[in-house]
Structures are given as C-alpha cells and as structure tokens.
Amino acid sequence: MRFHERVLTILCALVLCSAGCTLPNNPQEAENQPAVQVQLPRASGDHQVLSLLEDPELQNMGEKIFFDNTLSDPPGVSCSTCHDAVAGWGGPDSAVNLAGNIYPGAVPTRFGNRKPSSAAYATYAPILHTELEEDDVLFVGGNFWDGRATGQILGNPAADQAQQPFLNPVEHNLKDAAHVVACVEKSAYAGEFAELCKRLGLDKTLDAPTQIQLKFGYIGLALAAFEQSGKVNAFTSKYDAYLRGRASLTASEQRGLELFENKGKCADCHPSSLGPDGELPLFTDFTYDNLGIPANPDNPWYRMPPDINPLGRNWIDEGLGGFLKTQPQYAAYVKDNLGKHRVPTLRNVDKRPDAQFEKRYGHNGYFPDLASITHFYNTRDVKPFIKHVGGLDAQGNWPQPEVADNVNTDEMGDLKLTEQEENDILAFLKTLNDGFEAR
C-alpha cells in the first residue's frame, strides 16, 4: 500500500461526502437512492496501445485466439484451459485445483510452478515501474505474480503477458514465434487475421522475420484486447451494483466491507472504493508484498525433471526479487523484493460454477479455501512459526514462510478479528463475483 494513496482515499471520501455523497450507507436506504454515476477505470499504458485494446475487431480476434486449442504442441491446450469465465478467469478444473491448483500444459506430465492468476482485470496493470515512497523504492505494475511481463515490449503488460504462454514448455509448448504465427495462419479465422494485419499496417515488403515479429505482436495485442473487453473485464458483481446504487448488501456483507476497509486493513492493498472520478475499484493497487505464505508441499513443480526444474525440491519461489535478478538496472533492489508477489485483484475471488467446485489461494495454491487465507492474515504472528510444512499443525501453528525476508508485519499477522468478523469478511468477498447483474 502506498502512503500517498491512503491520504488520497481519505481526501476523496471527504470531497465525495461534502459534495452530497449518494452512496447508500445502510442497506435499507439503497432502494430509494438514485442510481450513482460510476465509470469504468481507464487502462494504463501507451495511448496508441490503449486505443487498440478498445478496438472491437481486435477484441473479436483475441477471443478466437483465446479459445483456440490448436495453438499448442500437441494440440489441445488453449488459454481457456487455465483461464475460464466459470472460475473467474482462473483455472476451471476442480480436481486440479484440489490437488494444488497448479496446471499441466500441452505435455500432460509437465506442470508449471504457480497458480494461474485471473486473466480478468489484468489489462489495468500499469507498465512495471518504480515509485519513491518516503525513502523506499516501490515496484508497481506488470503482469504475472512476479511482474515479469512488464509491458515494455508491446506497451501494456497484459499484451506482453499474452505472448509468453505459447512459448512456455509447461504451457502451450510451441517452439517459437514463427510457429505461433503459422498455427494462427492455418486456423479457421486465418482470413480475418490477414485482414487485421493489413488494417494495422503490416508492410508486406519487410523481411520474413520482421513480419513474424509484427504478427506475433498483433496476436499479443488481440489477446489483451479481448481481456479488456466487457466479456472479461465485466464489472457486473453485486458490489458493483451496490456502488451503482442498484443493490443493497446484507448486514453481514456490510460489516465485512467495513472490516475490509478498516480493522482488517485489506483495502490498504486491495482498494475497494470509487476512484476520484467515480471509477470502479480494481481490488489491487498493483504493488508487491511478501505475506509470508509457506511453501506448498503439493506443488507438482518440485517433481519436475531437471530439464524443466533444475533445482528440484530445493527450488524457492523468490517472486519479484527473482525476476529483478535478471534485470541489470534493478540489481540493487533484488534483496528488498525477495518473496514479494503482485497484489492480485480480488474480483471473482470466489467465482465458481457450483458449490462443490474447489479453488485454492495464494500464488502457490497453499490455502485450501478463502477461510484459511483470511485466518492466516488474522493469526499468522499470534503463534510462532515452526519448521513444519503443509498447513496448521496440531497446536494450530502456521508453518514458516517460504521466503523469510521482507515479510509484511505492518498490515497483517495479528489483526485481532473475531470468528464472526472473519466470516463477515468472507461474506463481503463473495459479493465480488461477476454475473450478479448486467452493467
């Protein structure tokens, strides 16, 4: 959480209220309130790229690519294998989620090392950059848990991100950009793709490798455009309806919201209020933190052969710090960012096709449900860590963190929430699922 944002939030709340705040404060009032004018947030990034992301033709093309399972080797895997609307654009296979929430790719014996993040609301991440907060250098933006899709290639992190799964041996497993382009040019929508390349200005006199790079760029931009469309960034949750003045929260949800914003400190990193121009909140400030989450012993990555995971059982997920090690300009900041992961949106955090559907939480799927991660925020530091992995032990102790450096002790660990208060926060989190009401 950034200090200046906290101040801004307080100021905005004052301004809003002095201008005659129309947000319903208690559930009974909502029905009688006029609808509130809210806005969709603006995606950040390069101006030209943002207009491409709003382009309906690019959005349609991106949708076709996203669901096309011929773009993998062997064929069978599409983006939607690991990101589907029914699961809030996270992993849609309940059995995989139950086993640790880490997905196999096109080669069925090869698993990745982290839980699929939601592909929704990812286009809003700013290009990875640093900000100065008091004397600390703070990293903000980027896609992936560790921020390595920076947005510096195509002008938007989600567009940079969208190129990477195709070439990842544990995901789509295609050899190189030329193969990705060749697959798209053999697809059922090859004609439309050629038209789009022409409209975007592809110069057919350029040499073949340059044309491939440009076409691979259009593929990344088209996927990000689909993710930016109302089909993915829906803003149709009960909480959105509440902010629009069209729904009321139950007493428990209302208490949960209050706890989320105050005693629980959740909104410090997962902002929940309207922006200065009435923009709907994204439930992430795109900063990075180490929550002290333990390693997940069920992570199938530990069992991958040395050509996939050279460190085997000794692999440690260093998060942002691990990525910064590969960036010479950021070498001085590696140590301060070991173990930090990007704050995920909490939109759709509980979205599931039915009540039996399993979902795990945290970048490595350590937590079996929302209740346990909420309990972790509340009690992590109440009982000391012990050298034991795999969940709470018989005495109710939490295991030690995977990375002991940089654990956030200012905003979590001993929140003194009662059981009822934890339950109220859970009730509020369930209001963030899209599909409650059309925009």
Q: Please report, as ranges, the residues that interact with ligand HEC according to CB under 6 A.
A: 1, 66, 77, 79, 81-83, 103, 105, 112, 114, 116-117, 119, 122, 143-146, 158, 161-162, 165-166, 171-172, 223, 264-266, 268-270, 289, 291, 293, 341, 343-344, 346, 349, 361-363, 370, 373-374, 377, 408, 411-412, 425
Q: What letters, b where the CB count within 10 A reaches 16 and e where it falls short, cover 113-127?
A: bbbbbbbbbbbbbbb
Q: Is-contact 24 33, C-beta < 8 A?
A: yes
Closer residue to ligand HEC, CB minimum distance, 83 or 244: 83
Closer residue to ligand HEC, CB minimum distance, 183 or 373: 373
Q: Which residues partner with 130 through β-bridges?
A: 139
Closer residue to ligand HEC, CB minimum distance, 116 or 245: 116
- Strand, helix or coil for residue 340: strand
Closer residue to ligand HEC, CB minimum distance, 245 or 294: 294
Minimum distance from CB of 32 to ligand HEC (Å)? 31
Closer residue to ligand HEC, CB minimum distance, 184 or 346: 346
Q: How many CA atoms lie within 13 A of 232 on its CB side?
A: 29
Minimum distance from CB of 336 to ligand HEC (Å)? 15
Looking at residue 185, its amino acid is: E
**φ/ψ (deg, to 5) at 217:** -65, -45
Minimum distance from CB of 394 to ligand HEC (Å)? 25
Closer residue to ligand HEC, CB minimum distance, 112 or 368: 112
Minimum distance from CB of 421 to ligand HEC (Å)? 10
Looking at residue 28, its amino acid is: Q
- Strand, helix or coil for residue 149: strand
Q: Is-contact 188 70, C-beta < 8 A?
A: no
Minimum distance from CB of 350 to ligand HEC (Å)? 9
Q: For residues 228 and 114, give the distance between their C-alpha atoms in angstroms, rounded to a whole number.
A: 23
Minimum distance from CB of 107 to ligand HEC (Å)? 10
Phi-psi region of 391 (alpha: psi -120 to 50; beta: other; left: phi over 0): left
